[in-house]
A and B are shown apart, each in its own frame.
Chain A
Amino acid sequence: MIHLYDYVLSGSCYKVRLFLSIIGKEYEERAVDYYPGGEHRTPAFLELNPLGQIPVLTDGAVTLRDAQAILVYLAGKYDAGRSWYPEDPETQGAIAMWLSFAGGELMNSSAARLHDMLFYDFDIHKVRAAAHAAFRVLDDHLTDREIDRGDWIVGDNPTIADIACFPYVALGGDGGISLDDYHAIRRWMSQIKAIPGFTIMPGIHAT
């Protein structure tokens, strides 16, 4: 049985919850008292993930941290159709680029949200500007994809690149980052919400 160390308000955990729901894979939640308890920084949790972050996923002998890494594993192991993480190097390279973006530049949106909601100490103007810059890169890319009749970040079908990028874009409003400028992003978000098995988290609407 898969166990997911999880917090209902974590966008990173939601990447995994969303993907598991879409591929219809069961799992057990291990709720981590992230806020206000700070359980992810306790010695017991650091044994599981020395970076003190969630999500962490265990599946038999496998223990993985980092939402992007977990998506790679789950797609490889459980997606029989090989569409969420296809095997060809060109597609994997492109997906890796966007996974890195999801865990990198897009995390400025997460920082803005943590600052605005839960008092985390960030330079809010700097992270919001960086989040807008990242959203703009994604929006320009999705604008070009739409011109080529593509609905997804990479290729003709949704991949884990879409799952990894979706949460902190969709949660931008929580951190004061409006999506009003980004037409292509909003269109892409509706596409994702139409995927069978799509599930929400607080701050994200169902349609």
Chain B
Amino acid sequence: MAKTNDPVALNDWQAIGNLDEIQSGKRRNTRLLGQEIIVEMDGDRPYVFEANAAGGMGREHPAQILYGHIWTTLGKPEKPPLDMPEFLEDKRRLVSCGAVTVRASALRIVENFLDMSHFPYVHTGVLGEEPITEVNDYKSEIRQPDDELWATECSFFQPQAAMSAEDGQVSEYMYRVSSPFVTVLYKTCPAVEGAWDLVGIFVQPRDEAVCDVHTFMLVLDDLSTYTALVHFQHKIFLQDRSILENQLPKGLPLSVGEETAVKADGSSMLYRRWLRQKGLKFGTWQGDRDSQAA
């Protein structure tokens, strides 16, 4: 496909790689919202260009470094990328897990991130396990003026909540979606009572049904090695990937009634409503229900 013309998708910031990958040259040519782009570093400054027909550098787009990643926009965003003050906390480690490609819509990926009901089935023995499958009531809302989706007072019993957790525990969660393709969760930190660990994904939609997912963590964990933390996150995300690539239809259905929902899906229903209100088309299902899997 060519670059999308969906203004909701274009007028927003997306991450396109972490600093290591881009500085080392591993990620130079990539694709965002259907557009081939080229990323260059000049010292500490990132530059992003559309790739022209000859593969050279065409039109330039704004670029910035934030949270260890390069961000760009192909349009004119009305708000900056999310604010995570935790990034500046001394004791926190930023663990950037590298990009993983998934053949799914960015919206399915974000929705999966918000979901707890799948913990016992997809992350068995780690984030959940039968018979403790019930999802307790939680709250979802759109917070203004930031225009962000928040789900709070979430909790779930977890056999191994984090790399450093030794026993099962009830984890508390908050989920935040700052723009259609960016989401962070805050969960009970096993190491420091009363504190949150952050795990998030910056989803880079290459096309409507293919994305690069940049996963990161901001954790208060002194004990685990960087590699162990990355591997824990890779394990969790790759378990999700095998689900995400097998959801039909590829595009996320936004209208009520196109898929069946229950109370535990509160944050997903609110996410779909929020996207509908924004008028987002990119990555959504545009057909009718009966033709979804024919």
Contacts and interface: CB of A to CB of B under 8 A. Distances in A.
A176 B103 contact: yes
Contacts of A7: 231
A174 B231 contact: no
B241 interface: yes
Nearest to B236: A202
Interface string B93-106: 00011111101000
B226 A9 contact: no
Contacts of A31: 225, 227-228, 231
A118 B21 CA distance: 12
A9 B240 CA distance: 13
B99 A173 contact: no
B238 A206 contact: no
A118 B239 CA distance: 15
Contact of B242 (A39, A119, A173, A176): A173
A8 B100 contact: no
Contacts of B246: 173
Contacts of A173: 242, 245-246
B93 to A, nearest CB: 15
B21 A36 contact: yes
Contact of A203 (B18, B101, B242): B242
B65 interface: no
B124 interface: yes
Contacts of A147: none
Nearest to A6: B231
B234 A8 contact: yes
Given A116-B101, A119-B101, A206-B124, A33 B227 contact: yes
A206 B237 CA distance: 17
Nearest to A36: B98
Interface residues of B, number: 29
B235 interface: yes
A169 to B, nearest CB: 15
B275 interface: no
Given A36-B98, A116-B103, A118-B101, A8 B235 contact: yes
Contacts of A202: 234-239, 241-242
Contacts of B230: 33, 36-37
A9 B234 contact: yes
A200 to B, nearest CB: 8
Interface string B1-42: 000000000000000001011000011000000000000000
B235 A174 contact: no
Interface in A143-194: 173-174, 176
A72 interface: no
A197 to B, nearest CB: 15
Contacts of A176: 103
B234 A117 contact: no
A173 B103 CA distance: 11
A27 to B, nearest CB: 16
B18 to A, nearest CB: 8
Contacts of B96: 36
A31 B100 CA distance: 19
A36 B19 CA distance: 12
A118 B100 contact: yes
9 contacts: A8-B231, A33-B226, A35-B234, A36-B21, A116-B101, A117-B241, A119-B101, A173-B246, A202-B237
Listed from nearest, the 8 A-B pairs whose CB atoms lie closest are A36-B98, A202-B238, A33-B227, A202-B239, A8-B231, A31-B227, A8-B235, A203-B242
